[in-house]
Amino acid sequence: MTSILCRQQVEGVLTLTLNRPEQLNALTWELMRLLNEALEHASVDPGVRVVVLTGAGRGFCAGGDLRSREQIDPEDPVSVRWSEDPVWKSVGMRASHVRRLSQSPVLLHTMPKPTIAMLRGPVVGAGLCLAAACDFRIASDTASFATAYVRAARPGDFGGSYLLPRVVGPAKAREIYLLGDKIAADEALRIGLVNRVVADAELEQETQAFANRLDHGPPVAYRYIKRSLNAAESMTLEQVIELEAYNMMQCSATEDAKEVLRAARDGREPKYRGY
């Protein structure tokens, strides 16, 4: 049986592929759980230096599979138990279940290594939130973006109201959410929603080259960079400067930092070990 989440690793680059192409990789409870587990493992695996998230077929992710997500997750004993209890019908219980299975954006945003969304076709709803949670977004010229929540008479989930304003700014995020209009790839590049737009036939090659560059970079420095950037979202300038000073000194004491000095002395490129 083909997995609905495929995992492939080449050197330090792990590619996770949402694999429900006939449904444009819409998220079921099971797929959400598998993605959470894969990202949790990748975040602590020293052999993984870069994570690429993509979708099989002609689309990245069409959002949540509403028909599936109205059902109980048979693999989740908590939801099965709740399903037998009238209390499960309460907003609080259902919200708790959704929150528990919606950790993938948090993991992509906070894990101590670079994350890349490789995007083609529809990037919608929860799919847009997953893309916004990544550090980089590389899009095919076939990609299109939309929140789509308002068209389903829903406010949205998966952390989009936190992530999207930080990517495109609060005014544009409100427009994207409240109007629900589709955004083409070239417009997505103009407003800063994606970092690159490439021809569809070149998407895998360009993303792999981008990921390889990060894979050969300094993992410890990447970890501290993400720590500083994420912390800065809720800190004052003075607090950020203090944190940066601490992180600089911590990073300067690592073997990777010493390797930079050795490589400069020897006239070669540094070989980072990640400690």
Q: How many residues does the chain have?
A: 275
Contact (CB, 8 A) for 116 and 157: no
| Residue 211 token pair | 């990921």
Alpha-carbon distances, residue 116 vs 12, 69, 119, 123, 196 (angstroms)? 13, 26, 9, 14, 11
Q: What is the DSSP string of 236-252?
A: -HHHHHHHHHHHHHHHH
| C-alpha–C-alpha distance, residues 85 and 80, integer Å | 9
Q: Is a pLDDT exceeding 90 seen at residue 150? A: no
| C-alpha–C-alpha distance, residues 220 and 205, integer Å | 26
In order of start, what are the domains of the chain with their CATH numbers? 5-215 (3.90.226.10), 219-266 (1.10.12)
| C-alpha–C-alpha distance, residues 53 and 126, integer Å | 13
pLDDT at 184: 98
Confidence of residue 163 (pLDDT cuts 50, 70, 90): very high
**180 - beta bridge partners?**
none
Closest CA to 114 of 186, 27, 220: 220
Confidence (pTM) = 0.89
Q: Is a pLDDT exceeding 90 seen at residue 110? A: yes
Contact (CB, 8 A) for 201 and 227: no
Can you tell me which residue has the tokens 């990245």?
60
